[in-house]
Amino acid sequence: MRKKIVAGNWKMNLSKSEALALYQSVDAQNPANEVELIVFPSAIYLDSLKKLDGKLKIGVQNFHPAESGAFTGENSITQIKDLGAEYVLIGHSERRMYFNEDGAFLKEKVDAALQHDVKIIFCCGEPLSIREMNAQDYFVEQQLIESLFHLSNYAMERIIIAYEPIWAIGTGKTASSDQAEAMHAAIRGFIEKQYGKNTAEKISILYGGSCNASNASELFACENVDGGLIGGAALKANDFLQIAKSF
Ligand code: PGA
């Protein structure tokens, strides 16, 4: 059975005390079910959150693939691992769009994280213009080819994928469960074509984009949807926990 995962991307939100309070509140009510819960706070809070010693897993939203060097303002994978990050987000559309992270750069990040044994949630997803041309499958497959399909089967099986249609992120416009399932099944098909059925069946594929406490059950009921990557709704403990109980 594939791992069920609900991850909260806190983006550039919350003061330190708010981040600590949110972490503690979610951790205290963490439903002891089989769902893996992860939060992605601002990297500057990592150390303080880790010291709370909770069960809720912690990751970072960004890092630089170089081991060290003159990259002003950046943190290396070794540094964030040192502070206790177990997961990283790679390929989020906001990083692709606002920070010009392209497929080749994301591939370097994938390799760096794997090399240091940090787990990856790799985000993919099409903008509205591509969806309007009905070219989303081709677009997403290219994103996977560019940054992931150089990996061995063994490495690929350690990747978690998040499908996040850009037109649904932060817009309140969710993909319908049919649209989500169609793309998740297509993604699993691309992986199967490259790596075989056995590997494809092991990989968790999360949905992201205006997923909330009201629509999570319908999305998570889809055969190929193994959880969610949650933005706005992850900033409220009760909403996030409600989503985690939506399987
Ligand atoms: P959203 O963000 O849930 O606020 O749409 C999702 C994401 O960007 O990961």
Q: Whole-structure pTM over 0.85, yes or no?
A: yes
| CATH number for position 185 | 3.20.20.70
pLDDT for residue 126 is more than 90:
yes
- Tell me which residue of 82, 69, 95, 5 sits closest to 43, measured CA to CA: 82
103 Cα to the center of ligand 1, angstroms: 21
Average pLDDT, the chain: 96
Query: Rounded to whole angstroms, how far apart are CA atoms 50 and 205?
Result: 26
- For ligand 1, pick from 171, 229, 242 the residue to mutate: most ligand atoms within 8 Å of CB: 229
CB 57 within 8 A of CB 27: no
User: 183-221 pLDDT, tens per residue?
Assistant: 999 999 999 999 999 999 999 999 999 999 999 999 999
Higher pLDDT, 61 or 170: 61
Check residue 112 and give its pLDDT: 98
Query: Is the CB of 91 within 6 Å of ligand 1?
Result: no
Q: Which of 36, 92, 141, 181 is catalytic?
A: 92
- Tell me which residue of 93, 228, 235 sits closest to 174, measured CA to CA: 228
Shortest-distance Cα residue to atom 7 of ligand 1: 231
pLDDT for residue 108 is more than 90:
yes
Check residue 170 and give its pLDDT: 82
Q: Which of 94, 101, 164, 181 is catalytic?
A: 164
Total domains present in the chain: 1
Domain that residue 123 falls in: 5-244
Query: Rounded to whole angstroms, how far apart are CA atoms 12 and 92?
Result: 13
pLDDT for residue 157 is more than 70:
yes
Give the helix/strand (H/E) hosting 4. strand 4-9
Check residue 174 and give its pLDDT: 84
- Tell me which residue of 116, 132, 66, 121 sits closest to 93, measured CA to CA: 121
Query: Is the CB of 211 within 6 Å of ligand 1?
Result: yes
Check residue 198 and give its pLDDT: 97
CB 47 within 8 A of CB 84: yes
Query: How sure is the predictor about 34, in pLDDT bands with cuts at 50, 70 and 90?
Result: confident
Query: How sure is the predictor about 30, in pLDDT bands with cuts at 50, 70 and 90?
Result: confident
Q: Span 114-136, mean pLDDT?
A: 96
Q: Span 70-93, mean pLDDT?
A: 97
Check residue 32 and give its pLDDT: 67
- Tell me which residue of 234, 237, 210, 207 sits closest to 221, measured CA to CA: 207
Does the annotation count 164 as an active-site position? yes
* Three-class secondary structure of residue 206 per DSSP: strand
71 Cα to the center of ligand 1, angstroms: 28
> In this structure, which amino acid lies at residue 131?
R
Strand partners, 9: 40
- For ligand 1, pick from 5, 169, 219 the residue to mutate: most ligand atoms within 8 Å of CB: 169
Check residue 206 and give its pLDDT: 98
Query: Rounded to whole angstroms, how far apart are CA atoms 62 and 42?
Result: 9
